[in-house]
Amino acid sequence: MDVAQPDWGPFRALARRTLRDNAPLVLTDDVRALLLRTAREVAIPDAEAALRTEAGALALIGEAERRIADGSNRLTDALHRMWRLQTSGEFDGARQEMRDVLAVEVVPYYRVLAQEQLDDMADEP
């Protein structure tokens, strides 16, 4: 599965403004398009319905932000453990780190990265 690296910069800036700084959310066509695209990229269904209300849109932003941050942290932590295990020759443990990510991760981009790491270890003992 080939998934391009998402550009979450504009979304994360919007999330910071609305969630952290409490700036008002204005659902322009561009903001709606950004939220729908991001929802697709982080596997949130029914984003269209969430955009019917400001509360729904803010909840969508919060969930997308959580999925991006949690997935990134989960994958980064697992990669560090995987590399440490690979360095010590523990390839079964290294592979298990990526399997553990795949067991819980919902963001397609992070799933692809974890699967690629797992596939790269296929030839290891």
Binned at pLDDT 50, 70 and 90, residue 2 comes out as low
Query: What is the count of structural domains for the chain?
Result: 1
Whether 71 maps to a domain, the answer reads yes
> What is the model's pLDDT at position 124?
80
Could you tell me the two tokens for 22? 């409490």
Whether 1 maps to a domain, the answer reads no
> What is the model's pLDDT at position 64?
98
Range of the domain at 54: 9-120
Q: Which residues, 6+ apart, have CB-to-CB distance to 8 below 8 Å?
A: 38, 41, 68
Q: Which residues, 6+ apart, have CB-to-CB distance to 18 below 8 Å?
A: 24, 25, 58, 61
How do residues 91-102 score in pLDDT, each as one tens digit?
999 999 999 999
How do residues 101-119 score in pLDDT, each as one tens digit?
999 999 999 999 999 999 9
Whether 125 maps to a domain, the answer reads no
Whether 3 maps to a domain, the answer reads no
How do residues 66-93 score in pLDDT, each as one tens digit?
999 999 999 999 999 999 999 999 999 9
Whether 2 maps to a domain, the answer reads no
Whether 96 maps to a domain, the answer reads yes
